Amino acid sequence: MKIRNAIGQKRVGHTGTLDPQAEGLLVICIGSATKIVQYLSNFDKSYEAEIYLGQSSTTFDSEGLITSDSPKAAPDFSAEEFSEILDEFRGSISQKVPAYSAVRVDGKRLYELARAGKEVERPERLVTITELEVVSYDKPRLAIRVSCSKGTYIRTLADDIGKKLECGAYLSALKRTVVNGLLLENALTIDEVEKLHQSGELKARLLSFRDMLNFRCIFVSDIFKEKVISGANLTSSDISGTDGSFSTGDRVLLKDQEGNALAIGRAEVDSLEILKSTDSKIFTYSRVLN
């Protein structure tokens, strides 16, 4: 809403929420770029996080701290020892969705059920943590760097680490630093967006939304290019080439001869067979971009 008001643009969408207490990078799509929000939400993300050891929380962050007259002491480990302990959280792991989250169960938000004192079975998700690095340990505060797949809850990771150590833990600070190669250090604050818009310089700072779509692609002829807007059926004779290998069912882009993205869709034939395919359907449209 702040971006809408700052630049006078109604069509604004984000590609992944941040918890209220978190900070950092949020990729915003404006205008015609809102067409691709759903395709950017699956990108991997990186975070810098601080975990407070020795105390638990119902929300897994500082909002729901469980007070105790005798909190458990944080362990006396070195940063190197912590790195070994965290091995079991690297790679593909199963995470249970936090009770205080917006995920729906039986039509109700989990946080609504939690606030009403109702306990339900929370869904589990398979997520991938590609990097989990211990930055420092200044007892009781553990600083880590995390790179992970969509849907990973860093709050849950903090709580799970506390359970493993049998001392309790909660997420005390979180900053998102990277989204699909985009860096926080290159981002704009909301105030900067407003100032650049007022000075007429904002457009020069925006990324092309077509550059954000790094899927494998199919190049089409100039004649077929004009037919994409109407969702015309793609045949092998309309294809001039491909970029990268893909399999049946993979998401791909249609591009023109200059490399401009025309549409997003699903390949119905793999890249090795597509130029010689005689199948009636070799591409299914999901979204036309031009």
Residue 136: exposed, middle, or buried by beta-carbon count in 10 A (0-12, 13-18, 19+)?
exposed
Selection from 173, 117, 180 nearest residue 143 by Cα: 173
Length of the chain: 290
Instruction: Count the Cβ atoms, other than its own, within 10 Å of residue 244.
Output: 12
Query: Sign (positive/negative) of CA torsion 35, 41, 44, 47?
Result: positive
Residue/partner pairs of 240-248 with CB below 8 Å, 24 or more apart? 241/275, 242/216, 242/217, 242/218, 242/271, 242/274, 242/275, 243/216, 243/217, 243/219, 244/216, 244/217, 244/271, 245/216, 245/270, 245/271, 245/272, 246/216, 246/270, 246/271, 247/271
Annotated active-site residue 87? The verdict is no
Instruction: Count the Cβ atoms, other than its own, within 10 Å of residue 229.
Output: 12
Query: Sign (positive/negative) of CA torsion 20, 22, 27, 28?
Result: positive
Query: Sign (positive/negative) of CA torsion 117, 123, 127, 132?
Result: positive
Are 241 and 255 in contact by the 8 Å Cβ rule? The answer is no
Residue/partner pairs of 64-73 with CB below 8 Å, 24 or more apart? 64/100, 65/170, 66/168, 71/168, 72/166, 72/167, 72/168, 73/140, 73/167
Q: Given the residues 19, 61, 159, 160, select the one marked as catalytic.
A: 19
Tokens at 270, concatenated:
């793999």
Q: Point out the residues that are catalytic.
A: 19
